[in-house]
């Protein structure tokens, strides 16, 4: 089953807030439902929200009353702005919106024809995502040795993309190749994507793992028990600075301090050459309630009236990144020089 797919004239998503307790699929019929699902993290993971946004535009096109192609295009451009504001950090969302609009702009036809084209293009984005993930898996698996213990941050598996996974896709491919792996799963506070989603996926795949709290990663690195650190990214700047789920910086720093390589695994669409460095990447700050209460349990674990901060991402400076795995190959430093060679031509 895909995480994001089109069925019976609507967009279907695995509800990631309900796992691992329940595997539930929600059906979305409108642009606004799609935007709300991205904002609430019913769907999450940079590539997955890109695909969801593409289908959201297809939903907007189908329900449009526009009488001309240009009227429809204006509506979809507004819809694209709505989608882009839901989660500002991951570039894949903006990338998917721009790709959808670019395709529609370069085509002529009736609103109905453009609506069909929008759905076909969204479907193509989703299908390509799966192929790209499979390619990254094969390329990245070459970096993984038999017997490796790997620390993995957040969720980058099938649930974070359309299918297969980025960093977790590399782990899955290495496992398929018969390499014996042990994964230390960062729980990834505050929303516990590691403890809930990555642990659930690894259990499905039969890959041995143990959950650790994020602050334990340094302990295992210092004890010499870890050979690789691996994560995805939500946006990579032109110099190789990596914006990814909060906690990535401290993890990559601890890896560096112990001489352990740290790899970011991303589709090339995650690389944003328009930003010179990571300081220019907008960092979303979410509600403090996600820190004050434990997700799912919904139980407050902090004093009444306590306040919290909740930056959802951080930027890991390029000096801490050993390599960036893309579907076009592994990019090594100096990233300023090498990254442009691995980005897909427009």
Catalytic residues: 234
**# of chain residues touching a copy of itself (CB under 8 A):** 56
Binding mask 18-37 for a copy of itself (x = CB under 8 A): --x-----------------
Instruction: Report DSSP state, residue 214.
Output: G
- State which residue, 74 or 306, has the beta carbon closest to a copy of itself: 306
Residues 6+ apart with CB under 8 A from 1: 14
- Check residue 294 for interaction with a copy of itself (CB under 8 A): yes
Angle between helices 91-105 and 69-84 (to 10 degrees): 180
Distance, in Å, from the CA atom of 96 to the CA atom of 52, rounded to the nearest integer, reads: 9
The only residue of 109, 146, 210, 337 in contact with a copy of itself, by rule CB under 8 A: 210
Minimum CB distance to a copy of itself, residue 99 (Å)? 30
Which residues, in sequence order, are bridge partners of residue 316? 242
Write the binding mask 298 to 317 for a copy of itself: x where contact by CB under 8 A, - elsewhere. Answer: -x-xxxxxxxxxxx--xx--
CB of residue 297 vs a copy of itself: minimum separation in angstroms?
4
In the complex, least distance from residue 20 CB atom to a copy of itself, rounded to whole angstroms? 4
User: Where in 151-190 is the site for a copy of itself (CB under 8 A)?
Assistant: 184, 186-190
In sequence order, which residues have a C-beta less than 8 Å from that of residue 304 and are 6 or more positions away?
none
Q: Work out whether 243 is an interface residue with a copy of itself (CB under 8 A).
A: no
Residue with Cβ nearer a copy of itself (184 or 233): 184
| Burial (0-12, 13-18, 19+ Cβ within 10 Å), 165 | buried
Asked if residue 20 has a cis previous peptide bond (ω within 30° of 0), the answer is yes
Can residue 10 be called a binding residue for a copy of itself (CB under 8 A)? no
Cβ 19 to a copy of itself, closest distance in Å? 9
Q: Which of residues 213-232 bind a copy of itself (CB under 8 A)?
A: 213-220, 222
3-state secondary structure of 234: coil
**Site for a copy of itself contains 291 (CB under 8 A):** yes
Q: Are strands 235-237 and 242-245 parallel, antiparallel or unpaired?
A: antiparallel
Contact 309, 291 (CB under 8 A): yes
In the complex, the smallest distance separating the C-beta of residue 256 from a copy of itself, rounded to whole angstroms, is 9
Would you give the distance in Å from CA 305 to the centre of its chain? Answer: 33
Told to check if 206 binds a copy of itself by CB under 8 A, we report: no
If one asks whether residue 199 binds a copy of itself (CB under 8 A), the answer comes out as yes
Q: Which is nearer to a copy of itself, 11 or 14 (CB)?
A: 14
Contacts with a copy of itself, 39-68, as mask; x by CB under 8 A: ------------------------------
Tell me the closest approach of the beta carbon of residue 254 to a copy of itself, in angstroms: 5
Counting contacts by CB under 8 A, is residue 280 touching a copy of itself? no
Strand-pairing partners, residue 263, are: 230, 323
The DSSP annotation for 119-163 comes to HHHHHHHHHHHHHHHHHHHHHHHTTPPTT-EEEE-S--BGGGSSS
| Beta carbons of 273 and 238 less than 8 angstroms apart | yes
Do 44 and 13 form a contact (C-beta atoms < 8 A)? no
Helix, strand, or coil (residue 212)? strand
Shortest separation between residue 261's beta carbon and a copy of itself, angstroms: 17
Provide the binding-site residues for a copy of itself, judged by CB under 8 A.
20, 184, 186-190, 192, 195-196, 199-200, 203, 209-220, 222, 246-247, 249-251, 253-254, 257, 283, 288, 291-292, 294-297, 299, 301-311, 314-315
């Amino acid at each position: 089953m895909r995480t994001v797919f089109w069925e019976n004239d609507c967009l279907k998503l695995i509800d990631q807030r309900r796992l691992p307790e329940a595997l539930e699929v929600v059906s979305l019929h409108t642009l606004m439902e799609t935007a709300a699902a991205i904002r609430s993290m019913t769907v999450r993971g940079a590539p997955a929200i890109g695909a969801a946004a593409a289908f959201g535009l297809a939903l907007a096109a189908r329900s449009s009353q526009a009488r001309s192609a240009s009227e429809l295009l204006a509506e979809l451009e507004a819809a694209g702005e709505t989608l882009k504001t839901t989660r500002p950090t991951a570039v894949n969302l903006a990338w998917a919106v721009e790709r959808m609009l670019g395709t529609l702009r370069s085509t002529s036809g009736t609103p109905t024809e453009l609506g069909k084209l929008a759905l076909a293009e969204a479907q193509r984005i989703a299908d390509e995502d799966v192929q790209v993930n499979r390619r990254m898996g094969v390329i990245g698996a070459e970096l993984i040795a038999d017997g490796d213990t790997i620390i993995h941050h957040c969720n980058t598996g099938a649930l974070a993309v359309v299918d297969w996974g980025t960093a977790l896709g590399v782990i899955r491919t290495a496992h398929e190749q018969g390499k014996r792996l042990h994964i230390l799963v960062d729980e990834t506070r505050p929303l516990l994507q590691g403890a809930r989603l990555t642990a659930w996926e690894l259990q499905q795949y039969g890959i041995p793992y143990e959950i650790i709290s994020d602050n334990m990663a340094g302990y295992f690195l210092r004890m010499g028990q870890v050979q690789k650190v691996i994560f995805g990214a939500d946006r990579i700047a032109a110099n190789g600075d990596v914006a990814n789920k909060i906690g990535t910086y401290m993890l990559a720093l601890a890896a560096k301090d112990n001489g352990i390589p740290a790899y970011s695994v991303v589709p090339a669409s995650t690389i944003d050459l328009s930003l010179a460095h990571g300081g220019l990447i907008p960092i979303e700050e979410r509600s403090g309630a996600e820190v004050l209460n434990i997700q799912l349990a919904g139980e407050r674990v902090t004093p009444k009236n306590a306040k919290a901060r909740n930056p959802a991402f951080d930027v890991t400076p390029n000096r801490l990144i050993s390599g960036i795995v893309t579907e076009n190959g592994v990019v090594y430093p100096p990233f300023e020089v090498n990254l442009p060679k691995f980005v897909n031509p427009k």
